[in-house]
């Protein structure tokens, strides 16, 4: 078999994590863990990607142990003996297939209630009690009306409790045998909501200018790094866009982005997962460099690109239309890895369409078009 896209199949080592190639299964919410417990079907789902040659699996968002972390009982959690036993089985099966796997720790923050009905007695975690300015969003008017009602701001005790919950989840991940830690710090969720001026208007030490607004995620990363030591890598997903407003930005210039990402890198982040609708979109005017490219240039850390790899429609558009046609942009991915623009490429929908995607790419075989009704229907 001839190897195609050879640069994508170069190995990469990040701290103790040794990857066979640069292909990553992107985190995708599947909501297939009843009572938050990942079962044998979840293990098979991730293991099939490892068997197919994917270098690294990043799990769907996983709830930390906090009352308002995740508002869907079928989202897996990383606490409780039953769920932790389930994750140990997942990790063992992925490792037996020759793969690597890390969990994405998740707290939805201001977006509490977006995935389902919630107990009104549970306080959502919001830096300033704000859901955020309503912009271009896919949320229903009914949900927005409920969500935009102001709530109490997070207290110092709230902040300390959430940081402790992140640390506990990271420790559980290490004990379960995961190969690193990932944090969801984008899309308007809790970590991101401190950075975004639309949700953080605090005037204390947790708010203010851009660097001050970055303090909370920095403290989370710092605490996790102290808890897990220097061996395992920390991945950090960030984004300009928010689910409250797809046009929102945390940084208008590269210098502003450098303030945020530089502080996080200094705290212990090893890989920046630059979430974007298209991996190749220029991040700022006057440059063709992608968001992942800027993350690497500004920090010197590793970076990972994501968005519409091999497909002609963004995730949002493919959900509206129900499908996405194949567009062979893999050569562009390879060129950007060769040039050093970014180090890893995260792929979501094509991993749903083809569990052996890495093998398909290596062989040069045709890519499988994404069909939402088929490929999002269940764990596959």
**Residues annotated catalytic, as ranges:** 189
Q: Rounded CA gap, 144 and 125, in Å?
A: 17
d(CA 209, CA 212): 5
Sign for the pseudo-dihedral over CA of 154, 253, 301, 339: positive
Closest-CA residue to 375 (of 45, 77, 146, 14): 45
Share in percent of the chain as helix, strand, coil (round to 5): 40, 15, 45
> What DSSP string describes 40-78?
HHHHHHHHHHHHTT-SEEEEEEEE-SSTTS-S-TTS-BS
- Residue partners of 282: CB distance under 8 A and separation at least 6: 288, 289, 290
Q: How many residues can be counted in the chain?
A: 380
Residues 294, 257 contacting (CB under 8 angstroms):
yes
């Amino acid at each position: 078999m001839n190897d195609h896209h050879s640069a994508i199949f170069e190995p990469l080592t990040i701290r103790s994590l040794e990857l066979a190639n640069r292909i990553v299964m992107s985190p995708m919410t599947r909501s297939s863990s009843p009572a938050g417990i990942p079962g044998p079907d979840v293990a098979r789902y991730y293991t099939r990607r490892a068997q197919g040659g994917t270098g690294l699996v990043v799990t769907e968002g996983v709830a930390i142990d906090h009352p308002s972390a995740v508002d869907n009982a079928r989202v897996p959690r990383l606490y409780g003996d039953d769920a932790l036993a389930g994750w140990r089985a997942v990790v063992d099966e992925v490792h037996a297939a020759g793969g690597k796997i890390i969990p994405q720790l998740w707290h939805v923050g201001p977006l509490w209630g977006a995935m389902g009905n919630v107990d009104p007695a549970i306080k959502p975690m919001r830096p300033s009690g704000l859901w955020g300015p309503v912009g271009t969003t896919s949320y229903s008017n009914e949900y927005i009306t409920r969500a935009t009602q102001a709530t109490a701001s997070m207290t110092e005790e709230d902040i300390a409790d959430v940081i402790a919950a992140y640390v506990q989840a990271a420790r559980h991940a290490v004990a379960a045998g995961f190969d690193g830690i990932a944090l969801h710090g984008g899309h308007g969720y809790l970590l991101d909501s401190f950075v975004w001026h639309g949700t953080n208007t605090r005037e204390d030490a947790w708010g203010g200018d851009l660097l001050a607004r970055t303090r909370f995620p920095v403290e989370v990363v710092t605490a996790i790094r102290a808890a897990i030591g220097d061996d395992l890598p920390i991945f950090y997903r960030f984004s300009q866009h928010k689910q409250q407003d797809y046009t929102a930005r945390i940084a208008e210039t590269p210098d502003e982005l450098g303030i945020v990402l530089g502080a996080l890198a200094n705290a212990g982040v090893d890989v920046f997962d630059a979430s974007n609708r298209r991996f190749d979109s220029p991040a700022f005017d006057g440059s063709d460099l992608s968001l992942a490219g800027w993350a690497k240039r500004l920090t010197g850390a590793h970076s990972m690109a994501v968005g519409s790899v091999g497909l002609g429609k963004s995730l949002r558009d493919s959900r509206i239309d129900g499908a996405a046609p194949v567009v062979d942009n893999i050569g562009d991915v390879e060129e950007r890895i060769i040039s050093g623009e970014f180090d890893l490429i995260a792929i979501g929908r094509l991993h749903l369409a083809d569990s052996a995607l890495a093998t398909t790419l290596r062989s040069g075989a045709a890519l499988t078009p994404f069909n939402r009704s088929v490929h999002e229907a269940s764990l596959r």
